[in-house]
Amino acid sequence: MPIKDFAVKAARPLPVIILADTSGSMGMDGKIEALNQSLRDMVKSFAAESRLRGEIHLGVITFGGSAAAHLPLTPAHQVQGIQEFVANGGTPMGAAMDIARELVEDRELIPSRAYRPILVLVSDGHPTDDWEGPFRTLLASERAAKATRIALAIGNDADEAMLTEFANDPEAPLFHADNAAEIVRFFRAVTMSVAKHSQSANPSASLRLDYRRVGDDDELDLDF
C-alpha cells in the first residue's frame, strides 16, 4: 500500500463566530459578566475537543461604544484567553455585520473544505448605527447565506424582528434570555452542540442546536 495512504488527514476547520453586544445596557443585571464567563467556558470546552475530524476555530466580534472590534478567527486550542469585555456606549451592530461578512467570505481563513460556518448573534437592544445595509449585505453574501445562524435576544428590549430574521434554524428561529443564568445556559447549549457537530462526517450539514440538553435545573456556576 502506498505510503500516502497512511497519511493522516488534516482536521477540517469548523468556524464559530460570535457577534456579542457589549453596549452600555449589557452592564446591568449581570449580563456582561455572564457573557464574559460564557466565552471563557466556551474557549475551554472547545480547546479540549478532539480534532480528529473537525478543528473548532473561534472568532469574537464585539459591538459596543462607537465601533465594533473583534478577536481573530483562531483554532480554539491556540487561544490563550479572552479579555474581559466591558459594557459601554451604543450598539454599533452594522459595523459588526461588516466585519462578520469579511471574515466569512475570506477563503484563506475559511477554506472550501471547512465545515459550514456558525454565526451566533447576541444582543439586548437595538442597533444605534447604520445597520440595515450591512445586515442585508451579510445575509445576502454567498457564505453567510449558507452558514448556520443563531440568535439570542436578551430581555424585552432587544430588536426581536431583526434577530429573528438573522436566525435561519426553522426549529429555533430565536432564543430568549431573561437573566444572566439563561445567557450562560444558551452558550452551554451552543458549546455542546458545536462540539458534537465537530465530529460529524458531513461538513456541509447544518448545526442542530439541542437547547433541551441543558436543563433548567443544571447547576450554573456563576462567579460574579
pLDDT at 220: 40
Residues contacting 107, CB < 8 A, separation 6+:
none
Could you tell me the domains of the chain? 11-112+120-198 (3.40.50.410)
Interval 137-150 mean pLDDT: 94
Q: Model confidence at 213, in pLDDT bands (50, 70, 90)?
A: low
pTM, full prediction = 0.90
What is the three-state SS of the chain?
CCHHHHCCCCCEEEEEEEEEECCHHHHCCCHHHHHHHHHHHHHHHHHCCCCCCEEEEEEEEEEEECEEEEEEEEEHHHCCCCCCCCCCEECCHHHHHHHHHHHHCCCCCCCCCCCCCEEEEEECCCCCCCCHHHHHHHHHCHHHHHCEEEEEEECCCCCHHHHHHHCCCCCCCCEEECCHHHHHHHHHHHHHHHHHHCCCCCCCCCCCCCHHHCCCCCCCCCCC
Q: What is residue 215's predicted lDDT score, i.e. its pLDDT?
A: 52
Q: Which residue has the higher pLDDT, 189 or 2?
A: 189
The answer to whether residue 221 scores a pLDDT higher than 50 is no
pLDDT of residue 160: 95
The pLDDT tens digits for 1-46 are: 454 444 457 889 999 999 999 999 999 999 999 999 999 999 999 9
Compare 67 and 100 and report the one with higher pLDDT.
100
